[in-house]
Amino acid sequence: MRRITSLIYLPTFVAALVLLASAAGQSYSTPVGDYSTDKGKQLAGKYGTLLDHAVAEVTAVYSAEELRLVKLDESAVGGSGFWKNPAKFDTDNRYISMLVMVKKPPYIFGDDRNGHVASVLDRYGKTILSVLTKQLEAAPAADGVAICIIWGDTVNGAVSRVGAEGMALFLAREDVIMYKNFKLTIQNLVNRNDLFLFNGPKELENLTQFILEA
C-alpha cells in the first residue's frame, strides 16, 4: 500500500465510476449490525436508502462487463456503506463510500502509477463523485465521500489478483462542496485529501479486508 498526499499529474475527471448492483438477492451494503460505533449504525439505519439510490444511479451508466459493485463475500464491508477514513484513526469520521471493480481503461495519461490513477479517475470518477455528493448533501451527519476502485483486465473473478491495482480516495465534506461550487479544481480536491494506492493480491486483500472499516 502507498499513501499519496499529492499527485504529480491528475487531469480533470471526465466520465464516471461504477458499480453493478443488480443481481437478484445479492447484498452489497455493509449491514447495520456490522458497524463498530453508534454513529456508523445510526447513519446506516437512517440513510441506507441513499446508498441504494446511489448504487442504482451509477450502475445505470456502464455495462456489467465494464464495472461491478464489490459484494459482501468479497470485502469485509461489502461495496457501499458509511466507512471510516484510515488516515483519521483517532476520530469517528464517516464517509459515504463505494467500492467497485472496473475494467482498466486505456492509460491515456501515461503507463506509470500516476498515469494509471489519473486514467482510472478520468474514466470512472466523475459520476460516482457527483452521485455521492448529492447523497452527502442529504445526509448532514456524514463527514465526506470515499471513492474506492479496483481495476484489472476484467471485472470477473477475485478482487485480489495478480495484475490488479486499487485506490481509496477519501474526500472531506467541505472540500467536496467547494469542488461542487467550482471553488476547487480536481487537482486541489485530491491533493487536500487522502489517497491510498494498492498493487497486487496482498495489498488488495489488505484494502478489502482491513483498510476499509465500518
At 13, is the pLDDT very low, low, confident or very high (cuts 50, 70, 90)? very low
Mean of the per-residue pLDDT values for the chain?
88
Distance, in Å, from the CA atom of 211 to the CA atom of 109, rounded to the nearest integer, reads: 27
Q: How far is CA 24 from CA 37, 48, 60, 66, 154, in A?
A: 30, 18, 16, 19, 22
Number of domains in the chain: 1
pLDDT at residue 189 tops 90: yes
- pLDDT tens profile 70-99: 999 999 999 999 999 999 989 999 999 999
Average pLDDT over residues 115-119: 93
pTM over 0.85: yes
What's the domain range around 158?
2-211
